[in-house]
């Protein structure tokens, strides 16, 4: 990936928030963290809780809720202009 290519999250004007990829902030999915500055990794794990199974679905739900985040904060500007960011999926 070249330094000029910076993946951007999809905004609500480009695609409705209920559609699009099921990745963190609707960023592009990548198979590995190679050539990225920042990556999101989900860790589905149930063994840390007693009698409360289902925490393995946490990364999926966080990604689903993150589609409501805006790709740019007008006060601080977006980090996506300077960093290569992507979602690399779940780590089993």
On whether residue 6 sits in a domain, the answer given is no
Domain with 58, as residue range(s), is 24-90
Please give the tally of structural domains in the chain.
1
On whether residue 68 sits in a domain, the answer given is yes
Segment 40-85, tens digit of pLDDT:
999 888 887 777 788 888 899 999 998 888 777 777 766 777 888 9
Please tell me the distance from the alpha carbon of residue 24 to that of residue 63, in angstroms, as a whole number.
Answer: 5
pLDDT at 10: 79
Q: Where are the beta strands (DSSP E) in the chain?
A: 38-42, 85-90
């Amino acid at each position: 990936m070249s330094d000029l290519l910076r993946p951007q999250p999809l905004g609500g004007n480009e695609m409705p928030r209920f559609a699009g990829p099921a990745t963190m902030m609707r960023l592009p999915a990548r198979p590995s963290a190679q050539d990225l500055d920042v990556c999101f990794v989900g860790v589905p794990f149930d063994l840390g809780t007693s009698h409360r199974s289902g925490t393995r679905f946490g990364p999926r739900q966080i990604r689903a809720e993150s589609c409501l985040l805006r790709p740019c904060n007008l006060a601080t500007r977006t980090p996506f202009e300077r960093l290569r960011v992507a979602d690399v999926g779940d780590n089993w």
